[in-house]
Structure 1
């Protein structure tokens, strides 16, 4: 990959060095040295290298480039020539608002709500290989997007809690959540069952859940309680490199609103409850390994969703961080015989 004139790798506050790999890898350019057209052309030409770097490092951050608008970010995303994963086709429970066909708000939850570490949509059979984040407006304070190398976390978890780590790998996980009949923007997981499942009627919802292998129960106030099939909790992304690919931390710590109780949100795939002490170790490790990306307007972060988890810190002021998903993948639990 040949850098443009005036472009260079850079240190970024809080950057970590994990397994001889910078996390995230960060790039910048001299002020006014690279035009938007030059940058987008370079992204297109360097596409394969950039994706490989995101997988090697977990994330690649771009700061100081000529990307002051959402349309500029959209052009960046299109330059990578990745299959779009429209949010409307996802099974995520977060409420989001589209800005372009590829770009939408990262989460509409209130600023005081902390969003815990997770791999995007790992709690569903469908997930994106890549996530791209963009800062349109940086908050007055707080609002960082923490990132965590999930392969490093799993290696440490296996050392500290070997039985728990082994059980997560051998039985997978099941997730349960209650979806409202209409979008609830006050909740970090308030997307309605209509939007989540892409249906209009209860009969269509039941058919869709059947296709996906979910069990379900209709509750009062037009709410739908759904439980996933057994899903993997650990992913081998390359030979010998395993990641803690799940939503265990987010579900256990953060799936709480007037409809949902975190204690009922997640279990091992065999139906047994999680060891709370081991879960707390995983939560602690994620925080210890976290890199907090403090947003500057125009920042872009390219994330390999199978390698790195992300979260959101509470904030004050106006924060507009946008996202784009790419390359829909599917996963299912395969028992080890």
Structure 2
């Protein structure tokens, strides 16, 4: 089935894209996604970016395997060769992702050297060829994550033209990071903080392209801010706020769909994660592979420092006893009647 033929109301990923956790290199691996999914049944989760050549020539199981409980989950691809991207999508179909996303927003040096990521904002016709090739091979929606422009481009001119080009290529859903990317002179971290945010421009794109599902990304720190953006936009994508303060963002995220939270407190989440940590250790995994994503669970709450310190010090040699010590540091006080 071609993407243009997929009714939007039947798209699980599109419904979930009302709130999503951005793809983040070295962070949104399967353990992170499993932790986030435990807190929210609804939000759309993304993999780390995986390059098309890596899927074609590398260890596919290591790159693409995930737990079925992670659904709805999207695979983000990096690349700029239509044939390679088509081949990667063909391979990934067997894994049953709910969406395939093309990275046109990452400004890191390693992405630029491969001629993909944000640098592709300069060649929208090439991006159109890439997504058309991906759509031809995909049985789920192919989406794009982009910036409002790069370097000396004028976003008010570039962004609407880019979106129109994506629409004409068959894309129906786009996540827009509301900052430019400066490919020379700013580090990847600075590119997430220094270029000014232009939410009004992104909001204007929704008015200009009412038939597309558009999400805003960048600088959104709270669930209340996400609700404000949702007055205008179809979706909101959060990155570091969801990673560093997961309970604050995901603990009540399902309320955006009119559903009650799965857990009453971050303590309940930590208790529920204990069995997952134990199971991972039992098969030879290292505790740090899971708990490194959980360090911010108690952000701003009593015991948060002890929780983070104990888990960090335990590191890759941590045991379930270490997890229990960290849990004790943040245990909720008993209610005395």
Normalising by structure 1, report the TM-score: 0.27
Normalising by structure 2, report the TM-score: 0.27
Write 1 or 2 for the structure with the bigger share of helix: 2
Write 1 or 2 for the structure with the bigger share of strand: 1
